[in-house]
């Protein structure tokens, strides 16, 4: 896989779908992220109803930062209901011509000549591996993308694509509160095939929901935070970073201190029993 930073900045909330940063604020956010040691920025064409990539591109072009010093990731395939695209039904499009067109749109919006990594955002029940591979090989030959992966694909869907095109990344949901990927064979398959897992929503529901599982987790995290002298969020990241598949978290925070903390979580040496303690609290029972 093209080299990315060990923590990735997720840009979904930078624009219309969240913080609504001005161009000046977005420049500052890029600088804050880089100063923390994060050089990879995760996008998708749909973010901000197809507006965030363009805003980021304007900001980056004005920042004076060299393109070679960062990695740009983007995704395509989801078609939202949108007047500008004249779509009336949400659907997936993985046709060759569409993938190529979508990448060209992202390149124009991001004001760059290439993407370090392109991901298919969601698997389509109508996807044709041969057609997808034709698009990806063409984009690679033209220098439009350096690497290719997927997002939210099951092991069987990854295997289907692998017959026609190498898959370097699968960006999946994985956290202490949503760890199904460890039980359904997904992380096993990624580890076996040496495919890099990226984790979206790496903190899970812990800071969003006050349910019984999170209450159990909280009791353990409060004690472990004192033991390791770190924050609860850092421990949640350390938990997924402990997996041997070498998961790369995609963090959504834009808070300077939290970004710095996320990078520092890479240094936490979580003891084996503490890792299992957190899993136990999440599941509500000891491992079987």
The DSSP code sequence of the chain is: -----SSEEE-TTSSTTTT---HHHHHHHHHHHHHTT--EEE--TTHHHHTHHHHHHHHHHHHT--GGGSEEEEEE-EE--BTTTTB-S-EE---HHHHHHHHHHHHHHHT-S-BSEEEE-S--TT--HHHHHHHHHHHHHTTSBS-EEEES--HHHHHHHHTTS---EEEEE-SSS--GGGTSSHHHHHHHTTPEEEEESTTTTTTT---HHHHHHHHHHHHHHHHHT--HHHHHHHHHHTSTT--EEEE----HHHHHHHHHGGG----HHHHHHHHHHHHTS---
Note if 47 is an active site residue.
yes
Out of 47, 92, 137, 206, which one is annotated catalytic? 47
What residues are annotated to the active site?
47
């Amino acid at each position: 896989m093209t080299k990315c930073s060990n923590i990735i900045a997720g840009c979904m909330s930078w624009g219309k779908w969240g913080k609504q940063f001005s161009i000046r604020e977005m420049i500052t956010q890029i600088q804050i992220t880089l100063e923390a040691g994060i050089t990879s920025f995760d996008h998708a064409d749909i973010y901000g109803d197809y507006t965030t990539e363009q805003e980021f591109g304007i900001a980056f072009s004005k920042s004076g930062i060299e393109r070679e010093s960062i990695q740009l990731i983007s995704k395509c395939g989801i078609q939202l209901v949108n007047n500008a695209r004249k779509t009336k039904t949400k659907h997936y499009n993985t046709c060759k011509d569409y993938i190529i067109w979508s990448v060209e749109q992202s390149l124009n919006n991001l004001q760059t000549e290439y993407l370090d990594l392109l991901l298919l955002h969601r698997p389509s029940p109508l996807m044709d591996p041969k057609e997808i591979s034709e698009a990806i090989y063409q984009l690679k030959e033209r220098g439009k993308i350096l690497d290719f992966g997927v997002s939210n694909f099951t092991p069987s869907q990854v295997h289907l694509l692998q017959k026609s095109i190498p898959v370097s990344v699968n960006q999946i949901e994985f956290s202490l509160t949503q760890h199904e990927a460890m039980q359904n064979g997904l992380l096993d398959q990624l580890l076996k095939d040496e495919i890099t897992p990226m984790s979206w929503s790496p903190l899970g529901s812990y800071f969003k929901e006050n349910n019984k599982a999170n209450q159990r987790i909280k009791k353990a995290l409060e004690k472990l935070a004192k033991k390791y002298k770190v924050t609860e969020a850092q421990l949640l990241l350390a938990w997924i970073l402990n997996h041997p598949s070498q998961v790369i978290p995609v963090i959504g925070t834009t808070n300077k201190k939290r970004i710095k903390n996320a990078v520092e979580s890479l240094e936490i040496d979580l003891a084996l029993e503490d890792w299992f303690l957190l899993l136990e609290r999440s599941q509500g029972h000891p491992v079987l």
